[in-house]
């Protein structure tokens, strides 16, 4: 697929936030792994919802509520298609990846994890895919074991196999590392886990904006992602779960919208997904997510993947030419993200110099403290791409890094 098939000029005009100056310089936004900017169609959808059918869902019998409920369930169906889930009731709307993983840890943990059991995660996880499991294990008297990586940032699959025991209840791992850019072999990990009757949860926070996701093909049992990283608004996300697991799990939060009957003696619950959607959710956000999916589909996720691949390869090549640079992770299968340090330069100082040049990057531990510890560093600089970034922006980044290098290494 040719990477030139995206009309970048047209794409960039869809994102008003890109066309602004910071400190008098054209903004170059390279912090897309933290959050992406939003196309007008997503923002218009929110305005449209609040200007017309604004109402609560699955509650009222009046016109607006009926229309809002239809639209909300339509958004669920769009998410189902986007990740190729088998059924819409396998799609739970949440506040984002973090909430999705907390939901899974709480409800799956309550149903299936007991003293002496084991949960597996990996060294390259975001804190969101460590701490909920750590808390669960602490509460249950279970143990959290960590799948190691090699220096190139690839999971050690043989050591993963060795960590599997009869008491292993779940493997929770990221699809794409938010630090190293490594794309993990989800199908292979799922296959190995399933051969041992162990379900897998995939942290997909860095995946569907960069590559096509097919949860049935990946054969994962749970898949979590955030709307705001796929060009939708904040405060909306998704937990996909295979129905047989969701049916066997208890609700996460409880209250309105998730019950069929309540008395002071006992309560009965709705079926999934409503069972897991207590209270009023982010209705407008779900519609915005649908619009973001439509936007991605209009361009084509394969085209986006090809475009971003060529951009990432270009950036990697240029960065490798910078004197004294260390790039973390060299996986063959990678996308979206490059983290690095410059010899003798604190990551925060480099980030500050780049910021003053109008270039937004992320610095610090990137919510992956155990991984920083593994590399023996206090943090990194991270650049992360979206479909609207360009090679010209990469060139300006490199110029900025060179400027910073001269100033900071001299000082």
Catalytic residues: 367
**Smaller CB separation from ligand PMP, 53 or 286:** 286
**Smaller CB separation from ligand PMP, 202 or 342:** 202
* 226 near ligand PMP, rule: CB under 6 A: yes
* DSSP H or E run through 10: helix 8-13
Closest C-alpha to 133, from 158, 105, 110, 108? 105
Task: Report the C-alpha gap between 229 and 300 in whole angstroms.
Answer: 17
* 384 near ligand PMP, rule: CB under 6 A: no
Piece in contact with ligand PMP (CB under 6 A), picked from 150-158, 198-206, 303-311, 340-348: 198-206
* 174 near ligand PMP, rule: CB under 6 A: yes
* 55 near ligand PMP, rule: CB under 6 A: no
**Smaller CB separation from ligand PMP, 109 or 336:** 336
* 184 near ligand PMP, rule: CB under 6 A: no
Q: Kindly state the smallest distance separating residue 61's Cβ from ligand PMP, in Å.
A: 35
- The beta-carbon contacts of 310-317 under 8 Å, at least 24 apart in sequence, are 310/3, 311/3, 311/385, 311/389, 311/390, 311/391, 311/394, 312/181, 312/336, 312/338, 312/385, 314/391, 314/394, 315/383, 315/385, 315/394, 315/397
Among 75, 89, 96, 277, binds ligand PMP (CB under 6 A): 96
Residues 72-91 that bind ligand PMP (CB under 6 A): none
Cα–Cα distance list, 83 to 59, 86, 87, 342 (Å): 28, 9, 11, 38
3-class SS at 282? coil
* 209 near ligand PMP, rule: CB under 6 A: no
* 203 near ligand PMP, rule: CB under 6 A: yes
Tokens of 131: 């701490």
Q: Kindly state the smallest distance separating residue 189's Cβ from ligand PMP, in Å.
A: 15
**Smaller CB separation from ligand PMP, 174 or 312:** 174
**Dihedral of the CA atoms 200, 186, 304, 292 (nearest 10)?**
-10
Q: Kindly state the smallest distance separating residue 35's Cβ from ligand PMP, in Å.
A: 8
Among 206, 272, 331, 384, binds ligand PMP (CB under 6 A): 206
Tokens of 307: 């475009």
Residue ranges in contact with ligand PMP by CB under 6 A: 33-34, 96-98, 126, 128-129, 174, 178, 203, 205-206, 226, 367
């Amino acid at each position: 697929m040719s990477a030139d098939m995206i009309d970048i000029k047209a794409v960039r005009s869809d994102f008003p936030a890109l066309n602004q100056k910071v400190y008098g310089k054209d903004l170059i936004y390279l912090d897309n792994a933290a959050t992406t900017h939003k196309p007008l169609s997503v923002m218009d959808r929110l305005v449209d919802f609040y200007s017309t059918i604004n109402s609560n869902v699955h509650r009222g019998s009046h016109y607006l509520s009926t229309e809002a409920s239809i639209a909300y369930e339509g958004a669920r169906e769009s998410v189902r298609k986007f990740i190729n889930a088998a059924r819409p009731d396998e799609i739970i709307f949440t506040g984002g990846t973090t909430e999705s993983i907390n939901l899974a840890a709480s409800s799956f943990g309550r149903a299936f994890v007991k003293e002496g059991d084991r949960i597996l995660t990996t060294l390259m996880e975001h804190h969101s895919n460590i701490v909920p499991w750590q808390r669960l294990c602490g509460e249950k008297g279970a143990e959290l074991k960590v799948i190691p990586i090699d220096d190139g940032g690839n999971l050690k699959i043989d050591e993963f196999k060795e960590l599997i025991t009869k008491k292993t209840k779940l493997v929770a791992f990221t699809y794409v590392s938010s630090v190293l850019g490594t794309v993990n072999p989800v199908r292979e990990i799922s296959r190995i886990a399933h051969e041992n009757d162990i379900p897998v949860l995939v942290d997909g926070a860095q995946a569907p904006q960069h590559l096509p996701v097919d949860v049935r093909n990946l054969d994962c049992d749970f898949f979590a992602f955030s709307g705001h990283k796929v060009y939708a608004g904040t405060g909306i996300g998704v937990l996909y779960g295979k129905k047989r697991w969701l049916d066997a799990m208890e609700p996460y939060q409880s209250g309105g919208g998730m019950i069929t009957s309540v008395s002071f003696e006992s309560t009965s619950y709705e079926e999934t997904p409503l069972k897991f959607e207590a209270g009023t959710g982010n209705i407008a956000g779900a519609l915005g997510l649908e619009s973001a999916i439509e936007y991605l589909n209009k361009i084509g996720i394969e085209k986006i993947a090809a475009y971003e691949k060529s951009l990432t390869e270009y950036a990697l090549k240029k960065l490798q030419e910078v004197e004294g640079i260390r790039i973390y992770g060299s996986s063959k299968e990678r996308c979206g993200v490059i983290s690095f340090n410059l010899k003798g330069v604190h990551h925060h100082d480099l980030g500050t110099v780049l910021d003053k040049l109008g270039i937004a990057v992320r610095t610090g531990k990137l919510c992956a403290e155990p991984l920083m510890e593994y590399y023996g560093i206090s943090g990194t600089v991270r650049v992360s791409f979206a479909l609207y970034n360009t090679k010209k922006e990469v060139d300006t980044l490199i110029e900025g890094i060179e400027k910073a290098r001269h100033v900071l290494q001299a000082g």
